Amino acid sequence: MSVSRRRRSVFDLIGEYIDEMESWVEELMVSKQPSWNINTNTIEPLCNVDITHDEVVVTADLPFSDPESVKVELLDKGTLEIKAKIKRRICCNDLGIIHQSGEFYTFSCKVRIPVPVDMDKKKEKVKKGILEVRLPRKKGYEIKVE
Amino acid sequence: MLCGFPDVGLVGVLASSHVISELNLDELAYVDSDLLPPIVVLRDGLPRAPMRILGNNNLLVTIAETAIPAVGVQRLMRSFVEWVKLKSVKTLIPIGGIPVQNRQEIEEPKVFGTGSTLDMIKLLNREQVNVLKEGFMVGPQALIMRYSAERSIPAIALLAQSFYNYPDPEAAAAALKQFANITGIKVDTSKLFEKGEEIRLRAKDVMKRTQRELTKMNKEQEYDLPLYV
């Protein structure tokens, strides 16, 4: 059995730990914010990440969205951004928000992808207003079985 | 009595909320507990408890509009079932979801049932409800069934195939259809379909908090294969 993989320096490892901690801090910060932003006219949808043996499946619930407008982009190696236009007028009052006024035009959320994925091979579909993105996982190294 | 506590797909909460609205039920009681978060729900400007019981002459409906903290779910559900026993409720029917991975592909969710007594299982069989014979249940509905069985309270859990972490009004409609078959109490569920997108949008924050609590309860254990040797 032979194992080959890229050697990582101690600085790579420290960098990864810092990235990890930053994402935890970001998650903590985000969780204290409302799921809507009147300044950017956006609503943060519910989303979910499932990591399986060979792919990462990201889903997002996008009611009232226009399926043609859905955009999925990898911002950096660990963050996926989902955006979609809302096809009907939704104002604060529609969501039971009385103390502020404004309208929402877009769904927007950022999802952390904790393992390397191949964006070129991503597959997307929208069904029942739910976006599903399938991202094949990149293989880091191979273990040969003799 | 119909119970709708926050669980996968918020199926029970959406079903309870819909029945309350369609039958225009009055508030009769509420749950006062330090185990619930320090919140009030505002209705027409007035403060209401997040866990309430509404009803008319032949139906009681329990609804919780906030996620039940995992740390207090056992004590809350035990007290709730003891109260139900005290009030001589005829049949307790918790409604919930049963998560399925391919929910997007399912047009009409199936409804499964469990009973607290053999008579309730016979009733489910008579009504041709698929009985969950093996497996695990986790969460408020699971505890209601366990405590009801311990106290010989007739109880039936109706669980509709649903999304795990997205509000699922269609699953709530499917469960209410089965509820009508069992109890004879029919409720028009068309609004759950017509207003489906609006319901999903408005329920998303409660769903998010519910998901966090369900994770703490190890809800994913419902996917586990049952152990029989």
Per cent of chain A over pLDDT 70 is: 85
B229, part of any domain: no
- pLDDT of the residue at A77: 77
Instruction: Determine, for residues A132 and B207 on separate chains, whether the beta-carbon distance falls below 8 Å.
Output: no
Q: Alpha-carbon distance A122 to A72, whole Å?
A: 10
Hey, what amino acid is at B153?
A: I
Q: Does B167 touch chain A (CB under 8 A)?
A: yes
Which domains does chain A possess? 3-143 (2.60.40.790)
Instruction: Determine, for residues A95 and B202 on separate chains, whether the beta-carbon distance falls below 8 Å.
Output: yes
Q: Alpha-carbon distance A61 to A92, whole Å?
A: 19
Per the CB < 8 A criterion, the answer to whether B162 and B171 are in contact is: yes
Q: If you average pLDDT over residues A124-139, what whole number do you get?
A: 92
- pLDDT of the residue at A3: 45
- Structural domain total, chain B: 1
- Residue A72's H or E segment, with its range, is strand A71-76
Q: Does A99 touch chain B (CB under 8 A)?
A: no
Give me the residue from B163, B164, B200 closest to A63, CB to CB.
Answer: B200
- pLDDT of the residue at B101: 87
- The tens digit of pLDDT for each residue in B117-175 reads 999 999 999 999 999 988 888 999 999 999 999 999 999 999 999 999 999 999 999 99
In the numeric block, the tokens 């505002």 are attached to B42
Full residue range of the structural domain in which residue B191 is found: 2-219
- pLDDT of the residue at B50: 95
Hey, what amino acid is at B214?
A: L
CATH assignment of the domain containing B113: 3.40.50.10900
- The tens digit of pLDDT for each residue in B31-41 reads 999 999 999 99
Mutate one of A46, A59, A132 to test the B interface: name it (highest B CB count within 10 A): A46
Residues paired with residue A59 on neighbouring β-strands, in sequence order: A48, A132
Per the CB < 8 A criterion, the answer to whether B62 and B52 are in contact is: yes
Interface predicted TM-score of the whole assembly (ipTM), two decimals: 0.85
- The tens digit of pLDDT for each residue in B183-208 reads 999 999 999 999 999 999 999 999 99
Q: Does A116 touch chain B (CB under 8 A)?
A: no
Residue of A nearest to B43 (CA): A96
B11-23 helix and B169-183 helix, angle to the nearest 10 degrees? 60
Q: If you average pLDDT over residues A46-72, what whole number do you get?
A: 93
Q: If you average pLDDT over residues A40-59, what whole number do you get?
A: 93
pLDDT of A85 over the 80 cut? yes
Sign of torsion over alpha carbons A104, B10, A61, B112: negative
- pLDDT of the residue at A2: 42
- pLDDT of the residue at A26: 58
B81, part of any domain: yes
The residue length of chain A stands at 146
In the numeric block, the tokens 């379909």 are attached to B193
Coil vs helix vs strand at B61: strand
Q: Residue A128 carries which DSSP code?
A: T
